[in-house]
Amino acid sequence: MQVYLPIAEVSVNLYLLLGLGGLVGLLSGLFGVGGGFLITPLLFFIGIPPAVAVATGANQVVASSVSGVLAQFKRKAVDVRMGLVLLVGGLVGSGFGIIIFNILQSLGQIDLAVQLSYVVFLGGIGMLMFLESLRAMRRSKKGGKRGKRHIHTWVHKLPLKIKFRASGLYISVIPPILVGVCVGILAAIMGVGGGFIMVPAMIYLLGMPTKVVIGTSLFQILFTSAFTTMLHAVTNQSVDVMLALSLIVGGVIGAQFGSRLGALLKAEQLRILLAVLVLSVAIKLGLDLVLTPAELYSISIAGAP
Contacts with other proteins by CB under 8 A lie at 1-4, 6-7, 9-11, 47, 59-60, 62-68, 70-71, 74, 108-109, 111-112, 116, 226, 229-230, 232-234, 237, 239, 241-242, 244-245, 248-249, 252-253, 255-256, 289-290, 292-293, 295-304
Provide, rounded to whole angstroms, the least separation between the CB of residue 295 and other proteins. 7
Mapping DSSP to helix (H, G, I), strand (E, B) and coil, where does residue 209 land?
A: coil
If the CB atoms of residues 185 and 244 are measured against other proteins, the closer one turns out to be: 244
Q: Which is nearer to other proteins, 89 or 250 (CB)?
A: 250
Min dist. Cβ of residue 279 to other proteins (A): 19
| Shortest Å distance, C-beta 151 to other proteins | 36
8 Å CB contact between 198 and 183? yes
- Residue 177's region, left for phi above 0, alpha for psi from -120 to 50, else beta, is alpha
Q: What is the CA radius of gyration of the chain?
A: 19
Residue 131 or 287 with smaller CB distance to other proteins? 287
How many Å apart are CA 288 and CA 15, to the nearest integer? Answer: 27
The burial of 254, by beta-carbon neighbours within 10 Å (0-12 exposed, 13-18 middle, 19 or more buried), is given as buried
Q: Minimal distance in Å, beta carbon 171 to other proteins? A: 30
Helix-helix angle 241-264:50-74, to 10 degrees = 40
Amino acid present at 105: Q
Q: How far apart are the first and last CA of the chain?
A: 26
Nearer to other proteins, 253 or 283 (CB): 253
The answer to whether 39 and 60 are in contact (CB under 8 A) is: yes
Return the number of the residue (62 or 78) whose C-beta is nearest other proteins: 62
* Cβ 129 to other proteins shortest distance, Å: 25
Angstrom distances, CA of residue 62 to CA of 6, 204, 268: 20, 25, 27
Which of 75, 135 has the CB closer to other proteins? Answer: 75
Q: What are phi and psi of 292, to 5 degrees?
A: -65, 120
Q: Which is nearer to other proteins, 2 or 153 (CB)?
A: 2
Task: Using alpha carbons, select from 239, 210, 234 the residue that is nearest to residue 7.
Answer: 239
Closest separation in Å from C-beta 288 to other proteins? 8
CB of 199 to other proteins, least distance (A): 19
Contact 250, 20 (CB under 8 A): yes
Min separation Cβ 8 and other proteins, Å: 9
Residues 125, 259 contacting (CB under 8 angstroms): no
Question: What residues pair up with 12 in beta bridges, in sequence order?
Answer: 3
Closer by beta carbon to other proteins, 70 or else 134:
70
